[in-house]
Amino acid sequence: MLDGQPQDLQLEISQLEARLHDLRSQLDGSNYPVKTQTQTQTQTQWTTDLYNDKFQSEEIRSSLHALLLLSDSALPLGSFAYSSGLESYLAHNKPQRTNPASSFHRFLKLSIASIASTSLPYVLAGYRHPETIETLDNDLDASTPCIVAQRASVAQGRALIGVWERAFRASFAAPTRNTDTGAQVAASSIDDFSDMLKSDLGDVDEYDMGPKGHFAPLWGVVCRAMGLDLQQTAYIFILNHAKAVLSAAVRASVMGPYQAQNILASQSLQDTIMARIKREWNTSVEEAGQVVPALDLWVGRHELLYSRIFNS
């Protein structure tokens, strides 16, 4: 058993990678590849060759590392300060507090559908075309219907730029290690955009607003610069949103921390996230829109709450 352990680990790693590969191909909404190749791979023994191929490759390792960094709840984006409308929702739907858990389930589902339809297209566009970040930022700002949501998005977007500049850029944009031109373009796009943000003097006049720094498109660009693939970028964006809402639910005393982790780990949450990503995979930013009109009302009325523990 003792000498069997590293092999077990290898096996598990390979299985996880196979699963990741599986999920990725599932995700590719436009053309679903036939999965025969993956299946034959799964059936062949997990040789060290496979380990070398898969895990020792610089790309995979660094993208896994970046994935873990970006999914860390300690990433200093200030996400904990926002409940994405949950606090206002609870205040507007008091009779349902007799069964807070099911009321929360409804909110989580609506919230994920809404973030996917309004913001995910901007994440995907930021990843696919990092050089258009300025236009994406303007268009998302134009599409944000209320000040509360705008403040939350801009605060986190600017925080993300801060983390990139102060922490990640040194490791991920070093010219020696980066061979992917897309990542290089993304890195220089962030730098240019950041310079614009810093030199911006505020709104010059009514129709000439400066850059804002919205979160969603920047997330796509930063993920590109850090070498994640598009599927990972989208998944982690929605998952982080779900984590933030669940964390807010725990702090708003809707549920306990174990119950929150239970939901986070659940298959149904994974399925929801996958289904929403698939649905928005080919949605252009022009076609992005709110699918949950009620959510705009709750978020907008957050300012009317008598007592607030969150900023949104």
The residue among 186 and 269 lying less far from other proteins, judged by its C-beta, is 269
Applying CB under 8 A, the span of 13-21, 71-79, 184-192, 206-214 interacting with other proteins comes to 206-214
Residue (of 41, 55, 24, 47) closest to 229 by Cα position: 24
Q: What is the 3-state secondary structure (H, E, C) of 149-218?
A: HHHHHHHHHHHHHHHHHHHHHHHHCCCCCCCCHHHHHHHHHHHHHHHHHHHCCCCCECCECCCCCCHHHH
Taking the complex as a whole, the smallest distance from the CB of residue 25 to other proteins amounts, in Å, to: 13
List the interface residues with other proteins, window 69-98 (CB under 8 A): 88, 91-95
**What's the one-letter identity of residue 43?**
Q
Residue 183 C-beta-side C-alpha neighbours within 13 Å: 23
Asked if residue 33 binds other proteins (CB under 8 A), the reply is: no
Asked if residue 105 binds other proteins (CB under 8 A), the reply is: yes
The residue among 10 and 96 lying less far from other proteins, judged by its C-beta, is 96
Asked if residue 301 binds other proteins (CB under 8 A), the reply is: yes
Asked if residue 110 binds other proteins (CB under 8 A), the reply is: yes
Q: Which of 183, 272, 277, 310 binds other proteins (CB under 8 A)?
A: 272
Residues 6+ apart with CB under 8 A from 252: 83, 86, 87, 90, 309, 310
Asked if residue 23 binds other proteins (CB under 8 A), the reply is: no
Place of tokens 């058993």: 1
Asked if residue 267 binds other proteins (CB under 8 A), the reply is: yes
Taking the complex as a whole, the smallest distance from the CB of residue 288 to other proteins amounts, in Å, to: 7
Asked if residue 109 binds other proteins (CB under 8 A), the reply is: yes
Asked if residue 99 binds other proteins (CB under 8 A), the reply is: yes
List the interface residues with other proteins, window 134-163 (CB under 8 A): 138-139, 141-147, 150
Cβ contact 225:190 at 8 Å: yes
Token pair of 77, please?
């984006």
d(CA 36, CA 58): 26
Place of tokens 């020696």: 176
Cβ contact 163:76 at 8 Å: yes
CA-to-CA dists, residue 38 to 19, 44, 50, 209, 232, angstroms = 9, 10, 13, 49, 19
Token pair of 157, please?
């977007």
Asked if residue 101 binds other proteins (CB under 8 A), the reply is: yes
The residue among 40 and 307 lying less far from other proteins, judged by its C-beta, is 307
Taking the complex as a whole, the smallest distance from the CB of residue 158 to other proteins amounts, in Å, to: 17
Q: Which of 13, 64, 197, 209 binds other proteins (CB under 8 A)?
A: 209
The DSSP-derived string for 72-95 is: -TTSSS-GGG--TTHHHHHHHTGG
Count other C-beta atoms under 10 Å from residue 142's C-beta: 9
Place of tokens 């709450």: 305
Asked if residue 259 binds other proteins (CB under 8 A), the reply is: yes
Applying CB under 8 A, the span of 55-63, 75-83, 186-194, 302-310 interacting with other proteins comes to 302-310
Applying CB under 8 A, the span of 17-25, 189-197, 231-239, 281-289 interacting with other proteins comes to 281-289
Asked if residue 28 binds other proteins (CB under 8 A), the reply is: no
- Interaction site with other proteins (CB under 8 A): 29, 32, 88, 91-95, 99, 101-102, 105-106, 108-110, 113, 117, 138-139, 141-147, 150, 203, 205-209, 255, 259, 262-263, 266-269, 271-272, 274-275, 278-279, 287-294, 296-297, 300-301, 303-307
